[in-house]
Amino acid sequence: MRPHSRILPCLISGLCLLQNINCGNILVWYTEGSHWINLKPVLDTLVDRGHHVTVLLPNASIFMDLNETTSYNYENFNVSLSTSDLKNAMERFFRFSMYEMDHMNSIEIFFKFFEIISKHLDMVLVYCDGLLHSEPVLDRLRKGKYDVIFVDPVYPCSELIAEMLDIPLVYTLRISMANAMERLCGQTPAPPSYVPGAMSKLTDNMTFSDRIKNFLFYMSQDAMSLYMWRRFDKYYSDYLGRPTTFCEMMGKADIWLIRTYWDFEYPRPFLPNFKYVGGIHCRPAKPLPKVLWRYSGEKPETLAPNTRLYDWMPQNDLLGHPKTKAFITHGGTNGIYEAIYHGVPMVGIPMFGDQSDNMVHMKSKGAAVIMDFNSMETKDLVDGLKAVINDPSYKENAMRLSRIHHDRPVHPRDEAVFWIEFVMRHKGAKHLRVQAHNLTWYQYHSLDVFAFLLAIIALVLFIFYKILKSCVVRCCFRSRSKKKKE
């Protein structure tokens, strides 16, 4: 935040001086899909508050669009990939998650998943490489006097940009697989006994066998993550010219904005630089036309005349309508949060990614039933709908979650913006960063202390044994000598 040098652009953007805030320069790294959709409400609020938002935009992107809005600045860079490569990769993932997985055994699923994720990570690295070889862009970034870089860490590279520009790094994240990023790199504690690994489909109320499953899930995901991240370790070390790891670089992030809250999450320990800001995109509903039906295919002949078809409709406004009794959802976090916001019980038909796990959260909190996408029949859906509509407990629980969601000291969007502006004002938030980052894993778990104390105890026992032995020997020897003398 350099108030003097910013006065002119601030006056142009208009709002920052009126609102008595210093406006700053915010850099945003490329991301895709719902990750980008989730960044936007925060970016829009930052722009409204007078900040300059510059988005790093590659030539290959499905969701990010140069023409989408004029309120952001764009820095374009080229990558050795096309948008259709990206689309093919995404389709491959959907095909696997929604159809192929059903005809595979666990080992086949594991290897196929491993292969897909590996290819995805290789592709992600192409974006990083594209930017870091665009010298003119880098030059402009270095001269741009940025105050913070704001990113979803699922697309790595921001750690190197933050290091290169020497600016604070703020993450916004839904989850990583088994919370590997948050635990291994962010150092947030997660006892496997009551914190179910993200995407494990377990709840915080675990039986002995659940706890074994969770423990093994954490171990396998840790091994897989650390193995898969090796490509980033190498890339980061090569670029910086010193040995480092992806995780070490991630650990430098100032703030982690987690896109959930205790209406959705099971209560768990966390760190002072982790802020739970779930529901950023939620907003009150606007009025609706009388009947609605979103459908982009051909109009069925059997359709009743009182059913209208729309290519797209405002899901949030529909969920907020007082006559809405239930929400049939694929279980994405955004949809779930809109249902929580408006207190609507859910029928979940999860398809891929975190959707199954999300629906388990809602089911365990009594606000949803879950269908199996590949095996469900019409009757199952009807029964599920009847259950959430007719059994009042679903509505009551959805309303309870809604009350928890709304009743917080600060609105999630304001809280997210507050912490981004905080690191801009203070050039970071090192006072929230735990010393755990400077410990090895065995130091963190006090294994060296434990081993040392055990060694001391063993030594004391050994000396005690030796002394006792020598006493016994001496006593026996004396008594024998005495006997001999007698």
Binding site residues, a second copy, CB under 8 A = 188-189, 191-194, 204-206, 208, 211-212, 215-216, 262-263, 266-273, 276, 403-404, 407, 409-410, 414-415, 418-419, 422, 425-426, 431-436, 438-439, 443-446, 448-450, 452-453
Cα 52 from Cα 76, distance rounded (Å): 16
Give the nearest distance from C-beta 212 to a second copy in angstroms.
5
Contact present, 368 and 388 (Cβ < 8 Å) = yes
Query: CA-based Rg of the chain, rounded to a whole angstrom?
Result: 28
Nearer to a second copy, 262 or 295 (CB): 262
Question: To which residue do tokens 């697309």 refer?
Answer: 155
Give the nearest distance from C-beta 406 to a second copy in angstroms.
11
CA angle at 407 for the pair 258 and 273, rounded to the nearest 5°: 30
465: left (phi over 0), alpha (psi -120 to 50) or beta: alpha
Give the nearest distance from C-beta 458 to a second copy in angstroms.
16
Nearer to a second copy, 83 or 193 (CB): 193
- List the structure tokens of 196: 């179910």
Nearer to a second copy, 233 or 396 (CB): 396
Tell me the residue ranges of DSSP E strands in 145-244. 148-151, 169-173
Q: Give 425's Cβ-side CA count (13 Å radius).
A: 8
Cα 43 from Cα 65, distance rounded (Å): 14
Nearer to a second copy, 54 or 260 (CB): 260
Nearer to a second copy, 410 or 460 (CB): 410
Give the nearest distance from C-beta 47 to a second copy in angstroms.
20
Give the nearest distance from C-beta 173 to a second copy in angstroms.
17
**Strands 169-173 and 52-58, how do they pair?**
unpaired
Give the nearest distance from C-beta 434 to a second copy in angstroms.
5
Contact present, 23 and 52 (Cβ < 8 Å) = yes
Give the nearest distance from C-beta 354 to a second copy in angstroms.
20
Give the nearest distance from C-beta 263 to a second copy in angstroms.
7
Give the nearest distance from C-beta 193 to a second copy in angstroms.
5
Contact present, 436 and 446 (Cβ < 8 Å) = no
Cα 27 from Cα 151, distance rounded (Å): 8
Nearer to a second copy, 86 or 416 (CB): 416
- What is the secondary structure of 67-134 as a DSSP string? TS-SSSEEEEE--S--HHHHHHHHHHHHHHHHTGGGGS-HHHHHHHHHHHHHHHHHHHHHHHHHHHT-
Nearer to a second copy, 407 or 486 (CB): 407
Give the nearest distance from C-beta 347 to a second copy in angstroms.
23
Give the nearest distance from C-beta 230 to a second copy in angstroms.
26
CA 475 to chain centre: 70
Nearer to a second copy, 303 or 451 (CB): 451
Cα 89 from Cα 84, distance rounded (Å): 8
Nearer to a second copy, 14 or 191 (CB): 191
Nearer to a second copy, 278 or 353 (CB): 278
438: left (phi over 0), alpha (psi -120 to 50) or beta: alpha
- List the structure tokens of 70: 């004029």
Adjacent-strand bridge partners of 54: 27, 73
Nearer to a second copy, 211 or 308 (CB): 211
Q: Is 148 helix (H, G, I), strand (E, B) or coil?
A: strand
Q: Residue-wise over 112-136: b if at least 16 C-beta within 10 A, else e?
A: ebeebeeebeebbbebbebbbebee
Nearer to a second copy, 98 or 216 (CB): 216
Cα 16 from Cα 22, distance rounded (Å): 6
Give the nearest distance from C-beta 269 to a second copy in angstroms.
5
